[in-house]
Amino acid sequence: MKRYPSQRDKTLRAFRVYVEVMDTAAWMRSWMKGPLQTFDLTPQGFRLLILLCENGPMRMMEISRQMRFQRQNLDAIVRRLEERGWIKRVLVDLPTETGERKGSRTRAVATPKRRWGVGVITLTPEGERFVARVFPNHAKVVKALTRALHGREQQTLVEICRKLRAGAILKFMSEIAHLDEWEMASQPIVQEGHGKADVARSSLLQPPDEDDDASEDEEAPEEAISEADRKRLPGILAKMRRYTILKDARNVDWNKPFDEKRWAGNVVEMLMRVGNDTERKMIAQWRQRMSSGEIVKMLKEEMGGKE
């Protein structure tokens, strides 16, 4: 029987994604850095040239946002490309309501006229010729590196990267607001001082073994609460009181009419989030034998009917 993934498993799975993305980006940069060095050009400088080639003149703020760069760091890149004659800064005049700004009439001495505009970065003709000469060779190297993926896989990777950058703010806030077991000091992510630290570190980024606890799940007792489960109940009940789960579960669907079945499902899901691995496995066994309402009723009876 397939083991229900714990919050620890999900966290480590997400961290493996992060490590793989970072390693792949570093690997790609190491390959592309060499060809650009022949032109005394950094990857960030080439990325700026490509942005200007694709989008035309751009403001510094927009370039900084797209390249995820601090304004001070971007100034250094722009200055270097300006010295090479590939880009230039241009002041674009902004239209005014009256067509012309005049000095203040309330002062004895009129203020001098000021030129109102916004600074943008644009490619020079020499920069356009440079990009046209370098881009085909650079793209050829990229194509050779990505031949490990089929065309459909490349398109899927593009969509995955865009989806990851777009993010999901509601899911992000929901995950950040919940505690994992090592945050509650119930199960450290790395066991030290017990002779198992090296094993824990070596398996930190390994996929979880889905068959580790399958036999235990299959041999679960038939009664509602076994003796082993009853020994773990105080921990579950303490977390229910500590996090006021029975009350907070009503606020999950605050914009919907109260429904006892949905509320019971929310309670069980919140218990799965705050419980440790052993408690989550116990709740998963309960869900195979009882409905969410029956689980909540049983827990309320153990608490004496109090929320």
Among 40-44, 122-126, 220-224, 300-304, the range with the most confident prediction by mean pLDDT is 122-126
What is the model's pLDDT at position 153?
92
Q: CA torsion sign, 29 to 34 to 38 to 40? A: positive
SS (H, E, C) 31-92: HHHHHHHCCCCCHHHHHHHHHHHHHCCEEHHHHHHHHCCCHHHHHHHHHHHHHHCCEEEEEE
Residue 132 has pLDDT above 80, yes or no: yes
Three-state SS at 121: strand
Residue 105 has pLDDT above 70, yes or no: no
Residue 236 pLDDT exceeds 70? yes
C-alpha 260, offset from chain centre: 34
Average pLDDT for the chain: 77
pLDDT of 218 = 40
* DSSP labels, 217-241: HHT--SSSS-HHHHHHHHHHHHHHH
Q: Look-up: residue for tokens 């068959």?
A: 211
| Residue 235 banded pLDDT, cuts 50, 70, 90 | confident
Task: Say what percent of the chain tops pLDDT 90.
Answer: 11
* 90 pLDDT above the threshold of 90: no
Between 116 and 131, the more confident residue is 131
Between the CA of residue 123 and those of 42, 78, 80, 120, what are the distances in Å? 17, 11, 13, 10
CB atoms within 10 A of CB 281: 19
pLDDT band at 30 (very low <50, low <70, confident <90, very high): confident
Confidence band of 227 (pLDDT split at 50, 70, 90): confident
CA pair distance 121, 117, nearest whole angstrom: 13
Predicted pLDDT at 20: 92
Q: Which of 31-40, 229-238, 251-260, 271-280 has the lowest mean pLDDT?
A: 251-260
133 or 189, which is more confident:
133
Could you report the per-residue pLDDT of 179-225, keeping only the tens digit for each? 666 555 444 444 444 444 444 444 555 555 544 444 334 443 345 56
The mean pLDDT of 299-307, rounded to a whole number, is 75
pLDDT at 301 exceeding the cut of 60: yes
pTM reported for the whole predicted model:
0.51
Helices 43-55 and 71-84: crossing angle in degrees, nearest 10, is 80
Highest-confidence range of 76-85, 195-204, 271-280, by mean pLDDT? 76-85
